Structure 1
């Protein structure tokens, strides 16, 4: 029956008949925890520990007991939630939007990302993706029959944009630029110079910009700029937002899209067919979260501590290096002198009892790197201990290899 599938599904493997490397495919990743392995490859804040703030928990429980809980919210989303989002967008993202015309609530940002791309991609359309990047960026385009064109980001340039690199890859088939900002996995916060290059190219070549801002909430040393707020870009940009990373509410599955009403009109028309309706109770819980986001300060403090400890520990390992993470709770580690990323990941599971992500899954420029999720577990020390186990294991590896 697989022969009857489209090409992207025909080649896909979900772990039922073979080992799957990606942590978010199949169930084998979670099985490792039962074997005492620290799971540092799933970007789910404080997983598996309980981290829901009391006021959000209360709102969720009270709504579940309410008669509205088992019923649909309109597929375009809860109106009060959209009003609260509009307030946040104006304050943080410098976007002045109409909550009834420019915001669509989605069941998580992954489905939102897919839906943001879907209206525009026909077979053969080319999509520029700055890379390394989030794996779903590549997969979504392939599923739709588009062609991925990777735009290499260079470590020596701090993973910022170069105009000439973009220009050389644009053809008459280029339809879209797909950006994750801040970047996953490199944590790069793209600066004003990079985003000016981006916005000018989008306008000059009449392109669509889809920007996934799931990691926007914690940017430590660099100003965060929303691309849709750049001059002339809002009308041609769909921005994808998440409550999962910044608020640690991954399991509630609520995200949202923001774009012009010209684009949104078609999205409203098709939302029920592609997305359905986002969970009623979870949307109301998000209203409580937006009304009192003070709990995020504690999250930011933990993530800031962890990125600095990771920088200290990882850079003390011979022949291994990383830049200080600029955002979120990830780190991007160069292990190219020790072997390929898949081999190192497998070695660390066995020898350090820690599971991380192989860089090969993050597209061009990813091989030779590891993505380590620092945001797991509530206890900072548990994360530090896992990093020290990684250090000890990689030192032993080099001693055994005489590197």
Structure 2
């Protein structure tokens, strides 16, 4: 019997890229480092303005100060720095329209990926079913399985801009259903679900007595004309919703690895009791450095305005390529591009890495509905022109492939 055979069944099937190529999935394998070494462009990591310096001055000064004072070498409690939770509570009240007790309803995570896994941990037992809309963030499909749960994909469709269809949820609910897992705003489609959609889904959740875990990592990058509705703020949802948030996306501080969960105190009590066992304490320096960022979030508006310009540029350019289409993103700093007429999306991903020297994400990693699509991060580089040049290179490569296939419109 091999070592692999001694692993849990799920882990025997996982592929970390050490023994195979994993093109199109940026967090697995060495495709990223290989392309970087060759001078290529990364448009695959949801890390805004990567690899450039975009630290707000007050955050930088506080980071240095904490290190120089010697505080950074010591733990904070695994539930998080109390002062940071105070300023986050003010943001939740202002932006999410929920008044929370910072010392009873918030826990700090070392990044929202950890927070997302932790959010499910108190609830999922072996065999519990989790309804996950498709397409969605890849971790949404894997995390429940790591907890011995069963993922049930609920399709959303490009034809109606990936609207949440409650009838699709109703078709798939069973006595084993425990949870609805939601990415809102959606990664990778960029959809900002409407109040009507979320209200209908909340009524479904309450009707079937389910838990909702809502990943709101992109809540700060919602474009004008779209309302960011927090699931936990809807009637009857506060006591059954766990909300996961992040400083990585809207604040462009992905490397600081700070996220947070907010939920009612019954749920939070169980998380406080297990925080040291599951997630540990987030980095002391970055927690304290994030306090001025949450005290004054005005810099986010500048970032949103910049990504607004880029999404419109990408929309125009990709839709001008024969055989390619893309909706105007409602949130985020990436494009969800349909390349199905040009071939298999895995093949297109590999082709772009070779032809355009640019790494993008294969849509297949985002669910069954992601087949034929690419997720392209145009929010890279602080220099706008570098980002636009990257879009142009991708479009030129895709246009070349369309011409080879005889596709003219």
- Alignment of 1:253 onto 2:257: yes
Of 386, 389, 392, which aligns to 1:385? 389
- Alignment of 1:145 onto 2:148: yes
TM-score, structure 1 normalization: 0.98
Residue in structure 2 matched with residue 211 of structure 1 by the alignment = 214
Deviations 1:108-141 (A, max 9, x none): 0000000001111111111000110000011101
Q: CA deviation at 1:330?
A: 1.2
Residue in structure 1 matched with residue 313 of structure 2 by the alignment = 309
Distance (Å, rounded) in 2 between the aligned partners of 1:110 and 1:8: 19
Residue in structure 2 matched with residue 123 of structure 1 by the alignment = 126
Q: Greater CA deviation, 3-12 or 339-348? A: 3-12
Q: Which runs of 5+ in 2 are unaligned?
A: none
- Alignment of 1:368 onto 2:372: yes
Residue in structure 2 matched with residue 4 of structure 1 by the alignment = 6
* Alignment check: 8 A CA contact 2:378 2:391 kept: no
Residue in structure 2 matched with residue 162 of structure 1 by the alignment = 165
Q: How does 1:3-402 map to 2 (within 5 A)?
A: 3-21=5-23, 22-220=25-223, 221-402=225-406
SS in 1 for 2:385: helix
Deviations 1:184-232 (A, max 9, x none): 0000000011101111011100000000000000211211100000000
SS in 2 for 1:92: helix
Distance (Å, rounded) in 1 between the aligned partners of 2:264 and 2:20: 43
Q: CA deviation at 1:64?
A: 0.9
Distance (Å, rounded) in 2 between the aligned partners of 1:88 and 1:392: 42
Q: Which runs of 5+ in 1 are unaligned?
A: none
Q: Which runs of 4+ in 1 moved over 6 A?
A: none
Deviations 1:316-370 (A, max 9, x none): 0011101000001011001111111110000011111211100000012000000
Q: Greater CA deviation, 324-333 or 24-33? A: 24-33
Distance (Å, rounded) in 1 between the aligned partners of 2:34 and 2:298: 34
Q: Report how many aligned residue pairs link the two structures.
A: 403
Q: CA deviation at 1:302?
A: 1.3
* Alignment check: 8 A CA contact 2:60 2:289 kept: yes
TM-score, structure 2 normalization: 0.97
Q: CA deviation at 1:161?
A: 1.3
Q: Greater CA deviation, 330-339 or 391-400? A: 391-400
* Alignment check: 8 A CA contact 2:244 2:260 kept: yes
Q: Greater CA deviation, 150-159 or 321-330? A: 150-159
Q: Greater CA deviation, 155-164 or 53-62? A: 155-164
Q: CA deviation at 1:170?
A: 0.6
Distance (Å, rounded) in 2 between the aligned partners of 1:177 and 1:97: 23
* Alignment check: 8 A CA contact 2:221 2:249 kept: no
Tell me the C-alpha RMSD between the 2 structures.
1.0
Distance (Å, rounded) in 1 between the aligned partners of 2:17 and 2:372: 24
Distance (Å, rounded) in 1 between the aligned partners of 2:332 and 2:133: 19
Distance (Å, rounded) in 1 between the aligned partners of 2:17 and 2:324: 31
